[in-house]
Homo-oligomer: A and B are copies of this chain.
Amino acid sequence: MSESPALGLFDGVLARGLVREATSDAAWLDAMLDVEVALARAEGRAGLFPMADAEAIDAGRRAARFDIAALGRDATKIGNPVEPIVRALGAAVGGKPAGQIHRGATSQDILDTAAMLIAHRALSPLLDDLRGAADAAAGLAKTHRQTPMAGRTLLQQALPITFGLKAAVWLAGLDDAIVRLEEVRRTRLAVQLGGAAGTLASLGDAGPRVVSLFAEELALAEPMLPWHTSRARIAELASALGEAAGAAGKPARDITLLAQTEVGEVREGGAAGGSSTLPHKRNPIAAVAAIACAERAPSLVGAIFSSMIQEHERAAGAWHAEWRPFTDLLTTVGSASAWLRESIEHLEVDVAAMRANLDKTGGLWLAERVTAALVPALGRQEAHDLVTDIAKAAATSGRPFAEELAGHEKVRPHLTIQKITELLDPAGYLGSSDVFVDRALKAHHAKWGKNA
């Protein structure tokens, strides 16, 4: 295995977590060598040449060291790094077995299969971080199941919710993304093997059998047909990654909003934070970085979809145009997942601040409930308009909303002050919050056992 690549200047922020290593040039080289060895083994098993040749190729590969910069330079001549790798591997193996390397394959077979392998491998730490974030969200959902806070729509306080419900929504989003990613990983990451024009012509009748064994060697799916210019697998992987970015970015956005100085309901307790010039600031660095990494995903997803229309049996550019977005998408979504996990796992929740913010509107925002209580008597529209008017009056006058209501001649016949006070108590107006928290936790635990 190649050594771990050095951290780049921006990687600490934009390429957090183990996905960076799993998508590095060294990882790509390893994957392409693994693919060539697996192909040789498959062909050996299929009887195209003695198994000993395949083993010699394997051994030669293990003994050799490869120079990425030299391979990259030689890739210029041919337009991809596969042929230089095959040559270098051949030199390392030597003798007759060297002649069996890459048999029946075209460069795209190797590069596409390596991409699937890279994805399969990179998804391990990525899913681990997503699951860690989901577990942490599950912990918050459980702990704060009864913690009331303001629900906010269009950034305005709307109705009370619980922080547990908010965390349950994060959790369900993360679990959804995990399920989809696991599904894509299991069913859509397939080997590619078609030879120069997708017919496997140079393998004679042995083609389909070799493909089967090749898939077996690499523990990847076996495709029905070569998919050189059918990029749905890549697109589905990209989509699932984009979905994960959205699922990771959403809680991160909420956290930055809840951490605002004026809101102060949460704070990141991890190692990051602080500010270069402002010693008192507690920047929610992990959430900010999670957003930054997640926000890169949509354009990368779009780039992958833009490359789907590929010409004939190999595209003149659109295939090559996939390479970077593919790697970048894995890396940035992995980084977003790792940052989100960091943020949620160390999230400090200020229950008192949540309550204080909730009390700011003095019950005004439970107007909906009063409206509902008046509907039977007045009809929906009249009740709505009436309560709106009284709410505006209260907001203007500064007098308590409950008193304004109780004193109004159209309300008085239908609601007492006691009833109104009860209606305006947030803790009594949480609807199905608890049911929803239960569902999200149950679904999460059903998948991965008890956590948090």
Contact = CB atoms under 8 A, between A and B. Distances in A.
A151 B342 CA distance: 27
Closest 10 CB pairs of A and B: A246-B308, A302-B302, A151-B197, A291-B317, A279-B388, A201-B431, A292-B320, A239-B239, A153-B314, A12-B76
7 contacts: A8-B25, A12-B76, A152-B261, A156-B260, A159-B278, A203-B432, A204-B431
Given A156-B281, A261-B360, 16 more contacts: A8-B69, A9-B72, A12-B76, A103-B380, A151-B199, A158-B196, A158-B314, A169-B198, A169-B226, A202-B372, A249-B308, A279-B387, A292-B318, A292-B320, A296-B303, A301-B301
A317 B256 contact: yes
Interface string A394-423: 010000010000000000000000000000
Given A367-B280, A440-B224, A243 B236 contact: yes
A300 interface: yes
Contact of A317 (B12, B288, B430): B288
Interface residues of A, number: 191
Given A76-B272, A246-B309, A278-B159, A169 B225 contact: yes
Interface string A412-446: 00000000000000000111110110011001000
Interface string A53-84: 00000000000000011011111111111110
A372 B79 CA distance: 23
Given A9-B72, A14-B323, A309-B295, A369 B201 contact: yes
Interface string A174-193: 00110010000000000000
A269 interface: no
Interface in A136-171: 150-161, 165-166, 168-169
Interface string A356-376: 010011001101110110011
Given A250-B229, A379-B99, A295 B317 contact: yes
Interface string A317-355: 111110111001000100000000000000000000000
Interface in A284-321: 284-285, 287-303, 305-321
A190 B445 CA distance: 23
A277 to B, nearest CB: 5
A201 B365 CA distance: 13
A389 B74 CA distance: 20
A44 interface: no
A236 B241 CA distance: 11
Contacts of A365: 278, 280-281
A296 B271 contact: no
Given A296-B321, A309-B250, A431-B202, A278 B158 contact: yes
A281 to B, nearest CB: 5
Contacts of A133: none
Copy tally for this chain in the complex stands at 4
A230 interface: yes
A100 B279 contact: no
Contact of A196 (B159, B252, B303, B311): B159
Contact of A177 (B9, B157, B232, B247): B232
A230 B387 contact: no
